[in-house]
Structure 1
């Protein structure tokens, strides 16, 4: 049973949680953290119901594979209770913030997986919520557990990442700090030591970090990595991992129909610009019951998967998702664009990014183009947890600076054009047909 939320155990934070509704320009925000991005059909129906009753039905799929309800009015305790009753809350109220463990959306079913990460993930999540000291961690502190899947978000930076590898027929976990599985590994441990490693890393971090050093990168900016690793080696036996190289993930596997490790498939479709409504979520939940295993999985690409669908139903499931309003193909412009909340819901945004993104999507669709472009209403880049290939940074209502990602430059990358309207961007695309936009 979840304990009833109490204000004296929920620590102050600017990040919304299930038990902490944070106010925005368009009302309150409630963030529902999903274990491994997965949610049962009945839980999805509970989210849809409270979103419709208390918040006008606006639901967001986040880039950490969670769900948010926006536009919540007064009396939000009435919204929280049904979500707790559906089993969507933490084991302890003070453990809500620390449930930041990202898995592949295809964990356990991916054809390329080296092991099923879900049992270990469950063990880690219980520890994060039950170990009182871990509740001191920031709501932004995050861990990634990667089983070697083909469908994996490998660009989001995490405070600790763990990634599967095989050496001499044995399963190990390579790991790194303040980075991604595409980086050099700090070391490796046997799979059986994975849980102990997570506990040790978090305890060493809390031993060494000042209160203002809320992320691993903050600590390592001042503390030599060798010193952290020496402290860690006192708690868990470590081995070097000099030859670590993660296979890159396969682009587009979060959309459309894809084979699982068995004879079934999963079907993926996007929540356009990260938004869905109660009717869409209810329809997807019903479809999961009828044609899948009664569950949905949300992804860090702000999309959803229906897993364990029999192959003969795949085309029907994809068509019905599209009828509900979920784009199911990478050829659809709206499936490729990212946009933050924008000025319609956020006081820091300088432009209505979602409306502008839809205007651009219409133009791109007419061109037969589907380009990966990130709309950001301010420099905080809330919609993208990594630097996107192309970013439009708002500078005024309806006007954006255009950036291309450049690994040698900080922030969004290299500035290409300034103060573009959507129409001017359209002309810019005509004049630069071989730009990274088309890469």
Structure 2
């Protein structure tokens, strides 16, 4: 096991950040006003929600809000349309259901019971894993215990309350059902070496995708135990990447929590109060300086290993596995997934999902970062009934279904910044959408609904009018190919572009 170096942050950097960074992000205790009412965001540990908790959310959303529950692109839930005067009652019901942060152990009774302390602990619960973690047949390691340990770490040190609610960690266990195109402040990806599974890590980005070479035992002979190398293929093909550092080195699974702690303290030591993300800090300090600073907090060697410059994730990720039925690691068990229209559930749908989870699964649901739902641990004999139940609730279980290929933000019905009713327009587009085309509708340039790079983006220019962008590797939405399109015109243009791409 690794040993934590208990350096006091105040002795490392005299002016280390100690106060929470300002944020307008919704939280469990920080309900944020929107055009359609308040938004209460519920962070789900590992994306997991028990059937009993799902029922509480459904009932509370109907009683205290508009009965609309959204799945987010970080595998969380948010209740929309919270009514004025109902905030305290909604929060109390959710906390009583165990949906809040773990209470911090402290000798300061006032601090442990204060709303500010609980809210701060809630803000930092940002660890993403695969919705099929521990069950995916391609996984190299079960990341669920590591996720639980990191959540305990994040909530257990009061100093981490100074992190932005957007600051997030990714634990990639090598699953095929994995979101690896969603940038994170710190990411870890499992890889095989000659002596077992290790985690490569990087900052401000994603695990590089492509073809990864097999571990070469001869390259490990003289390497320190914490920086064993995995050879990458020099000419590995890969998609446009947003990873800022690439893979830096590899560590043992038992060292992950210690490294996370070191990197978080390093961020808080060095980042000015108005700096919220690791990419911002990397613009001020090079990665070697950050690792050198982090070394003060750990006793295992910590430095960049150049042999990882071309490391790539060995298993291709396939988001389509979130839908329909797929075999799990344990023979005779399956997970079944469905996509609610544009990532939204009503109270009755969530109640129905809770019932399906208890009747056919293990009594839990998994939210996914694609705004869909997974029911794990379904025995083979119950699979047809589970899939029929998902379809009956209005969820799409086929990746070819138009609803499974559309993403849309809240739109002008829920957000004052949006220039168009993207939800209504997306439903109109669903009836016209060409086959094999994925589209993101965004009401403004902030792109709240999609953390990844969609192949096509319709950016609202006015009510019912959109500029069409095609992903081409450049920053932002890509190349603008048309302006001021109606939904019908956009559908025609998407059909033409998709045919052109196929013929090329």
Bin of the TM-score, shorter chain as denominator length: over 0.9
Contact 1:16 1:31 in 2 (8 A): yes
Q: Does structure 1 residue 357 correspond to structure 2 residue 426? A: yes
- Judged with a 3 Å threshold, the aligned counterparts in structure 2 of structure 1 residues 437 and 102 are, in CA distance, closer, same or farther, namely farther
Aligned match of 2:499 in 415, 434, 439?
434
In structure 1, C-alpha distance between the alignment counterparts of 2:495 and 2:101, rounded to whole Å: 51
Q: Does structure 1 residue 340 correspond to structure 2 residue 409? A: yes
1:274-293 equivalent positions in 2, closer than 5 A:
274-293=343-362
Contact 1:296 1:306 in 2 (8 A): yes
The Cα of 1:147 is off from its aligned counterpart by 0.7
Secondary structure, aligned partner of 2:432: helix
Aligned match of 1:231 in 293, 300, 313?
293
Secondary structure, aligned partner of 1:363: coil
The Cα of 1:120 is off from its aligned counterpart by 1.0
Q: Normalising to structure 1: TM-score of the pair?
A: 0.94
Aligned match of 1:401 in 448, 467, 480?
467
In structure 1, C-alpha distance between the alignment counterparts of 2:378 and 2:74, rounded to whole Å: 24
Aligned to 1:254: 322
- Judged with a 3 Å threshold, the aligned counterparts in structure 2 of structure 1 residues 430 and 390 are, in CA distance, closer, same or farther, namely closer
Aligned to 1:4: none
Aligned to 1:410: 475
The Cα of 1:115 is off from its aligned counterpart by 1.0
In structure 1, C-alpha distance between the alignment counterparts of 2:75 and 2:130, rounded to whole Å: 10
Aligned to 1:330: 399
Equivalent residue pairs, number: 427
Contact 1:393 1:401 in 2 (8 A): yes
Please report the RMSD computed on the Cα atoms of aligned residues, expressed in angstroms. 1.7
The Cα of 1:140 is off from its aligned counterpart by 0.5
The Cα of 1:56 is off from its aligned counterpart by 2.0
The Cα of 1:437 is off from its aligned counterpart by 9.0
In structure 2, C-alpha distance between the alignment counterparts of 1:437 and 1:346, rounded to whole Å: 36
The Cα of 1:90 is off from its aligned counterpart by 0.8
Q: Normalising to structure 2: TM-score of the pair?
A: 0.82
Aligned match of 1:273 in 342, 352, 363?
342
Secondary structure, aligned partner of 2:499: coil
1:68-97 deviations in whole A, cap 9, x for unaligned?
000011121001111111100012402010
In structure 2, C-alpha distance between the alignment counterparts of 1:196 and 1:12, rounded to whole Å: 27
In structure 2, C-alpha distance between the alignment counterparts of 1:301 and 1:435, rounded to whole Å: 27
The Cα of 1:252 is off from its aligned counterpart by 0.5
Contact 2:437 2:494 in 1 (8 A): no
1:297-336 equivalent positions in 2, closer than 5 A:
297-336=366-405
Gaps of 5+ in 2: 1-18, 104-117, 209-242
Aligned match of 2:96 in 44, 69, 85?
85
Aligned to 1:124: 150
Aligned match of 1:372 in 438, 453, 459?
438
Gaps of 5+ in 1: 1-8
Aligned match of 1:109 in 128, 132, 135?
135
